[in-house]
Structure 1
Amino acid sequence: MRDIPSPTLPIAELSHAATQANRQTAPPRARLLVQWARHEDEVREAQRLRYEVFVNEMGARLNPPQGAPAAHDIDAFDPFCEHLLVRAIEPGERSGPVIGTYRVLTPTAARRAGGLYSETEFDLTRLRGLREQMVELGRSCVHPAHRSGGAIMLLWGALAEFMHRNRLDTMVGCASISMRDGGHYAASLWQQLSQTHMAGIEHQVRPRLPLPVDELRQDLAAEPPPLIKGYLRCGAKVLGAPAWDPDFNTADLPLLMRIADLPERYRRHFIDPS
């Protein structure tokens, strides 16, 4: 397997249409720019945003490494990952705060890290045949003032460009579902998606700490969260039953998306806009 080079630093401006949609929540005439983190201080900005969303907003309980700065979401996989950022730029300014982020673990980096973050929650044995061309996506979040769609579309566009440029074909990750209702919504959503979006048996995985779905309601009309709905529209498949993450108080659904399964309209938008 060839080594994956560090990403170049593509910077894209938000389209006029997305800007119009974002005006209700973003500062007037703010531009959104996407870029890869180049220095540790930029990674720290992403980690502060993650802390704001996961801890202050969602109530997660973190176990940071010893010596980690306060009010940052940091784990052992961060040093091995590439970090994708979206900034909101005010008129007349050259930079602005990070308002959206993803982290990406490449196959080469995963070997250096000793595995994937997802493997702490799932037995991924059946994915071993995909690993040489598979990246893990994780820790995605967007500031609540910028959740109208523009930021996530920029992130996805940069991710697609990264996959295409490095000849990678598969993305895997855990999509989190809130358990503030005790898990009934998550169990019902799993029941629905297991009937419509399951991967083939050859790629199905098992949770290490399963959500106890048999003890929960599974008959609620559960609309997928926007991020999961977006993944499914792009051809993602559910790999198995959700795991329970007690620290984040979420049910984590294992998802896999292959570039070959991307619908043509999204392929044209993200990979071949010409």
Structure 2
Amino acid sequence: MAMASRFPDHKFGRLTLRIARDDADLAQVAQLRRVRFRDNRGADMDQFDPLCAHLLVVEGDDPAALACARLRLLDGPELDDCYSAQFYDLSPLARAGLRGLELGRVCIASDRRQDPDILRALLAGIALHSDAEKVDLLLGCASFKGDDPARHAAALGWLKARHTGPSGLCPLKRAPLAFDLPMPGDLADQKAAMQSIPPLLRLYLGLGGWVSDHAVRDPNLDTLHVFTAVEVARIPTARKKLLMGMTQPR
């Protein structure tokens, strides 16, 4: 909760971005995540939550959270002790001495998922945080719904062909359920596959992001995911200014 005092609320049109401040805010985070990640059948909070700030999107004077995202600042060796490090060996990033902002558990209320401004607001909040904390790298696990690799083979092949990261930074395998990204199909299949990539991952790729050369099955959440990183210095300047410029202090 320490980050709450360092970041003021920001307006994003009719929406407001703010950091969770108290137990009531965290209860809203828990409910959003329960619906999104557990099909409303179990708690989703874990041991990493107390180490993180929780970014909320609210509308007008209504305190109800419409969306949330979990943020954690990571310096060097801390990269070996974060959520993503459970699944990926991040030692290449740790050796590089990069300052990271881990993003996770991004979710939007089920009745507002068609509102594009909410996701844009979350991205703007992430951009503001990364700029204020002088972050080198945004990182996290980008998830596909359903943990059967065959279901996502075309999309994963597209990622392998076009978006795998540099060898000096790309994480190594750690999880028992890790598997190499499959070889891409023909061009027509790849174009269709691009459309099946989750919207949040497409946005990260649009910022110049890259993914690991392998994915990991997560039967616990019935997902599979790829490690995803965005090197802040490589984000197109115009895109970064646009994101940050769409907000103003409240």
- String of CA shifts for 1:114-153, please: whole Å, max 9, x gaps: 7110011111111113455112111111112222211111
Identical counterparts, % of pairs: 23
Contact 1:103 1:138 in 2 (8 A): yes
Give the match for residue 233 of structure 1: 206
Give the match for residue 70 of structure 2: 103
Q: Go from structure 1 to structure 2 and tell me whether the alpha carbon gap of 1:273 and 1:50 turns closer, same or farther (over 3 Å shift).
A: closer
Contact 2:84 2:140 in 1 (8 A): yes
Following superposition, the deviation at residue 213 of structure 1 comes to: 6.0
Q: TM-score when scaled to structure 2?
A: 0.84
Q: Which runs of 5+ in 2 are unaligned?
A: none
Q: 2:9 aligns with which of 5, 8, 11?
A: 11
Contact 2:179 2:214 in 1 (8 A): no
Q: TM-score when scaled to structure 1?
A: 0.77
Contact 2:3 2:19 in 1 (8 A): no
Contact 1:210 1:241 in 2 (8 A): no
The residue identity in structure 2 corresponding to 1:184 is: A
Give the match for residue 266 of structure 1: 239
Give the match for residue 39 of structure 2: 56
Give the match for residue 117 of structure 2: 150
Following superposition, the deviation at residue 55 of structure 1 comes to: 1.2
Take 1:264 and 1:153, find their aligned partners in 2: how far apart are those partners? 17
Contact 1:81 1:109 in 2 (8 A): no
- String of CA shifts for 1:48-95, please: whole Å, max 9, x gaps: 1100111127x8xxxxxxxxxxx5321000011011011234xxxx33
Give the match for residue 160 of structure 1: 127
Take 1:117 and 1:269, find their aligned partners in 2: how far apart are those partners? 30
Give the match for residue 142 of structure 2: 175
Q: Which runs of 5+ in 1 are unaligned?
A: 16-30, 60-70
RMSD of the alignment, in Å?
2.7
* More strand as a share of residues: 2
- String of CA shifts for 1:1-26, please: whole Å, max 9, x gaps: xxxx72434323333xxxxxxxxxxx
Name the structure, 1 or 2, with higher relative contact order (CA <8 Å, separation 6+). Answer: 2
Following superposition, the deviation at residue 107 of structure 1 comes to: 1.8
Take 1:102 and 1:9, find their aligned partners in 2: how far apart are those partners? 15
Q: Does 1:42 align with 2:40?
A: no
Q: 1:188 aligns with which of 139, 154, 172?
A: 154
Partner SS for 1:75? coil
Contact 1:53 1:141 in 2 (8 A): yes
Take 2:208 and 2:246, find their aligned partners in 1: how far apart are those partners? 19
Give the match for residue 85 of structure 1: 56
Q: Go from structure 1 to structure 2 and tell me whether the alpha carbon gap of 1:213 and 1:115 turns closer, same or farther (over 3 Å shift).
A: closer
Contact 1:36 1:85 in 2 (8 A): yes
